[in-house]
Structure 1
Amino acid sequence: MVTRGSTLSITCKSTSNPSPPTYTWTLPGSTIQTGASLSITDIQPSRSGQYQLLVWNSMTPTGGTSRIGTSDATFTLDVLCMLSFYYNR
C-alpha cells in the first residue's frame, strides 16, 4: 500500500547468462513500461490495481536452437486516501 501523492519506486535485480535481460512492466490499463526500475510520482487512486513484471532473455547456442528464459512476478497496489470532513455551522 502507498499513500496518495507519494512516490512508488521498485527496482528489479536479476542475473542472466547471456546478459542483459529485458524487463517489461505491465501496469493497470495495459500500460507497458520497460527497464529494471519502475517509478511513479504523485501516485493517485487511479494507479491502484495489478502490476506484472516479466524478465526474459534469449540465447542461441552454437549449432543449436534458440532458447528463451523467463521469470515473472505480479503484485497488487492499493493507494490509500486521506479523507477530510469539514463541518460548517
Structure 2
Amino acid sequence: MQRTGLKQLQKANLPLFERPRHFKAMWPIESFTVFDDQRVDHEPLSASVRITAPDEVGVYLKAFATLHRHAAYGADARALVVRAIESLPQPPPRC
C-alpha cells in the first residue's frame, strides 16, 4: 500500500488484524465469511464450502468474535499500516 492509500484507509470502515506472536500459526490464504448466524462460507486452499449446521456455524462465530476483539480500527489501524510501511526496506537510490 502506498502512503497515498492511507488517506483512503481513514475513510474506510474496515478492521485490521495483526496476529500477535503468541497466536498459533494460521494459513494466511484461508478465509471465511460470516453472513449471519445461520451461514458461513469457508474458503480453504482448494474449495469453497457453505456451512449451515448450527454447531459448525457456532465455531466460526466464536472465531470471528475472537478476531474482532483483537482487530484495530480507525487511527489504531492506520498506525499499524504506517508501522508496516516504515519497516519495509528502503529501495536503493536511483543513479
Which range, TM-score by smaller chain?
under 0.3
Structure number with larger C-alpha Rg? 1
TM-score by length of 1: 0.24
Query: Greater share of strand residues, 1 or 2?
Result: 1
What TM-score, normalized by structure 2, do the two folds share? Answer: 0.23
Query: Which structure: greater helix fraction?
Result: 2
